[in-house]
Amino acid sequence: MRDLPQHKPVLAGMAYNGISGAGVRLEALPEGHLLHVLGAIEPTALATELVKAGFAQSSIRQAGFRQWFVAGDEPFVPASLDALVAALAGKAFVMDQSHGRVRIGVSGRSSRGLLSRGTAVDLDPSVFPEGHSAMTMVGHLSVQIVRTGDDSFELTVLRSFAESLWDDLTHMAASAEKDGV
């Protein structure tokens, strides 16, 4: 049926390599899966249940008190979500946010400097190590920032604000390049 909505990645085909070569790279990450888990379950127990339910390649990011985002590149099978919901019954609630949020990768030697132009979070590796996450504002947008490597971060934003965040990041990168950062 032609009238059924078709999923189209919101940042399809977008890529940005700026700030003198390898300085900063922006990347629209695959719109795989993003689950919001709320409840009194420890991350280690959650990780165990994720593996059992078929989410072994997913990462867990703290999103607030007793809240986690479970993110991964591969789309999930509804049966896997059902298995996870059943396993966490009485311990936590699971909400699929896969179609409501978008992930953007920011990497390169100038990535921390770029992000510091838009957020007040201290991204120094001694304070914000790999695997650490924070819910914050980047400009006027609510974003989750996760350090995924030495010079790499992942930003998660509501889908309807993804293009705005992308534009803000490219403007910050252009401004940083102009300033010689």
Q: How far apart are CA 116 and CA 93, in angstroms?
A: 34
Q: Are 115 and 142 spatial neighbours (Cβ–Cβ below 8 Å)?
A: no
> pLDDT by residue (tens digit) across 132-161?
999 999 999 999 999 999 999 999 999 999
pLDDT digits (tens, 9 = 90+) for 91-114: 999 999 998 999 999 999 889 999
Does residue 171 have a pLDDT over 70? yes
DSSP 15-42: EEEESTTTSEEEEE----EEEEEEES--
What number of residues does the chain have?
181
Name the DSSP letter for residue 3.
Answer: T
pTM: 0.87
pLDDT band at 78 (very low <50, low <70, confident <90, very high): confident
Classify domain 15-30+101-178 at the CATH superfamily level. Probable tRNA modification gtpase trme; domain 1 (3.30.1360.120)
- Residue 30's pLDDT is what? 86
DSSP-derived 3-state class of residue 7 = coil
Amino acid at 27: E
Instruction: For helices 78-88 and 43-53, give the axis angle rounded to 10 degrees.
Output: 140
Kindly report, as residue ranges, where domains of CATH 3.30.70.3400 are found in the chain: 33-96
pLDDT at position 16 over 60: no
CATH 3.10.20.340 is the classification of domain 33-96:
no
Which residue did the predictor score with more confidence, 10 or 67? 67
pLDDT interval class at 72 (50, 70, 90): very high
Q: How far apart are CA 82 and CA 46, in angstroms?
A: 15
Choose the weakest-confidence range: 32-36, 77-81, 94-98, 121-125.
77-81
Name residue 16's beta-bridge partners.
26
pLDDT in tens, 17-59: 544 455 888 888 888 899 999 999 999 999 999 999 999 999 9
Residues of the chain with CATH 3.30.1360.120: 15-30+101-178
pLDDT at residue 20 in the model: 47
Average pLDDT, the chain: 88
- Residue 7 pLDDT grade (very low, low, confident, very high; cuts 50, 70, 90): low
